């Protein structure tokens, strides 16, 4: 029996997290180099409302030398009626507007902005006349990916484009459709049983109201990267319902915007993946798996075989609260983020 295993979601490099069976087992030690994101985080703690005092357009510009992409994490957002947020590069390209209902209704959520490509970013708050200093937006920190640090794959990359599996293994291809990119930064997947998805804590953050992008269908239609990408679909989350503490507990459960999830037909189009809580850890060892992800934030890929031409298998399973940690055999290609 082969299993689909999204890489990057509930993943610390080669460490995959599945439901726990024996909750009293010792927590495995995870090497430091496997528990860190390739994003670098810098604290700023700036109140956007206080910028450009007296003006109805509040701006804050950021330039990070050596950055390949940049995003902001904003806290306690409360926008006055009639206002909106814009994030773009300095030229006004890659522009995205944030005006979801949760930013106005007193929820005061966190917002993780979609990453802007390049080393410059501009955020603007456009307020109605007469509301120049009302509301609340805290730029808590920014995070960026350094140039040349987008991926590190051990050995030769044996992965194939997701579209190849339409003919290689149609059943696996259908299951891989549930895997998407969260915040243009990490792998995530739709969880069966409701409008939920699983990703990493270093992508989604702590439990609470949070808006981040959920990008579906980022893949080529077939086995050639010369073809145009398929049409993508993006919705936003409304909260992180539960999460680990980061580090060795690098996981988070997202709840998408319920209306957008239903109107877009996410479940019907892309499907969901179930957590099999009936399989004990010993039964998972030596199990063939497909590892699905977006290495280097490129279109979706999956390796089926190792560099030696053998099926990718699980070589070790350890248990800790509340997940079982699975270690892929060392010769399998890995996506280190």
Peptide bond into 322 cis (omega under 30): yes
Query: Domains in the chain, please, with CATH?
Result: 40-146 (2.60.120.290), 159-303 (2.40.10.10)
- Plot region of 81 (φ>0 → left; ψ -120 to 50 → alpha; else → beta): beta
Sheet holding 57-63, edge to edge: 57-63, 120-126, 84-88, 96-98
pLDDT for 311: 67
Q: How much of the chain is helix, strand and coil, in % rounded to 5?
A: 15, 40, 45
What are the residues whose beta carbons fall under 8 Å from the beta carbon of 289, sequence distance 6 or more?
A: 2, 3, 4, 5, 312, 313, 314, 328
Q: What is the dihedral of CA 32, 36, 42, 48, to 10 degrees?
A: -140
Q: Within 13 A of 116's CA, how many CA atoms are on the CB side?
A: 28
pLDDT for 48: 92
Distances (CA, A) of 169 to 49, 50, 173, 236, 276: 53, 56, 6, 30, 21
C-alpha of 31 from chain center: 22
pLDDT for 169: 87
- Plot region of 12 (φ>0 → left; ψ -120 to 50 → alpha; else → beta): beta
Q: Within 13 A of 197's CA, how many CA atoms are on the CB side?
A: 38
Look-up of token digits 């995070």? 143
pLDDT for 149: 56
Could you list the pLDDT tens digit for every one of the 337 residues in the chain?
555 555 444 432 222 333 322 223 333 333 333 333 477 899 999 999 888 877 889 999 999 999 988 999 999 999 988 899 999 988 887 888 898 888 999 989 999 888 888 999 999 999 888 766 678 999 999 999 888 754 544 555 567 899 998 998 898 899 999 999 998 778 999 998 879 999 998 889 889 999 999 999 999 999 988 888 888 999 999 999 999 987 778 899 999 999 899 999 999 999 999 876 666 667 777 777 777 888 777 889 887 665 556 667 766 555 544 444 444 333 333 333 3
**Which residues, in sequence order, are bridge partners of residue 143?**
41, 71
């Amino acid at each position: 029996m082969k299993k689909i295993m999204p890489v990057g979601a509930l993943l610390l490099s080669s460490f995959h997290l599945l439901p726990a069976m024996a909750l009293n087992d010792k927590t495995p030690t995870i090497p430091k180099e496997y528990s860190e994101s390739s994003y670098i985080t810098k604290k700023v703690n700036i109140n956007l409302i206080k910028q450009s005092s007296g003006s109805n357009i509040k701006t804050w510009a950021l330039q990070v030398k050596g950055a390949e992409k940049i995003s902001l994490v904003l806290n306690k957002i409360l926008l006055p009626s009639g206002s909106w947020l814009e994030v773009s590069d300095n030229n006004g390209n890659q522009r995205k507007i944030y005006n979801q209902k949760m930013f106005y209704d007193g929820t005061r959520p966190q917002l993780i902005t979609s990453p802007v490509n390049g080393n410059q970013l501009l955020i603007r708050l456009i307020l109605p006349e007469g509301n120049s200093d009302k509301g609340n937006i805290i730029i808590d920190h920014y995070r960026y990916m350094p140039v040349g640090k987008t991926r590190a794959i051990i050995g030769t990359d044996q992965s194939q484009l997701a579209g190849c599996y339409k003919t290689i293994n149609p059943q696996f291809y259908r299951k891989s459709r549930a895997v998407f990119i969260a915040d243009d930064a990490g792998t995530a997947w739709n969880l069966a049983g409701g409008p939920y998805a699983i990703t990493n804590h270093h992508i989604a953050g702590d439990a609470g109201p949070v808006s981040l992008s959920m990008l579906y269908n980022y893949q080529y239609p077939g086995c050639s990267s010369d073809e145009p990408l398929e049409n993508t679909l993006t919705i936003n989350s409304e909260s992180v319902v539960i999460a680990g503490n980061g580090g060795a507990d690098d996981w988070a459960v997202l709840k998408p915007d319920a209306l957008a999830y239903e109107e877009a037909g996410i479940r019907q189009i892309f499907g969901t993946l179930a957590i099999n809580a009936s399989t004990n850890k010993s039964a998972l060892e030596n199990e063939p798996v497909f590892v699905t992800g977006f290495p280097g934030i490129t279109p979706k890929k999956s390796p089926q075989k190792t560099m030696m031409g053998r099926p990718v298998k699980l070589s070790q399973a350890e248990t800790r609260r509340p997940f079982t940690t699975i270690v892929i055999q060392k010769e399998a290609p890995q996506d280190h983020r």
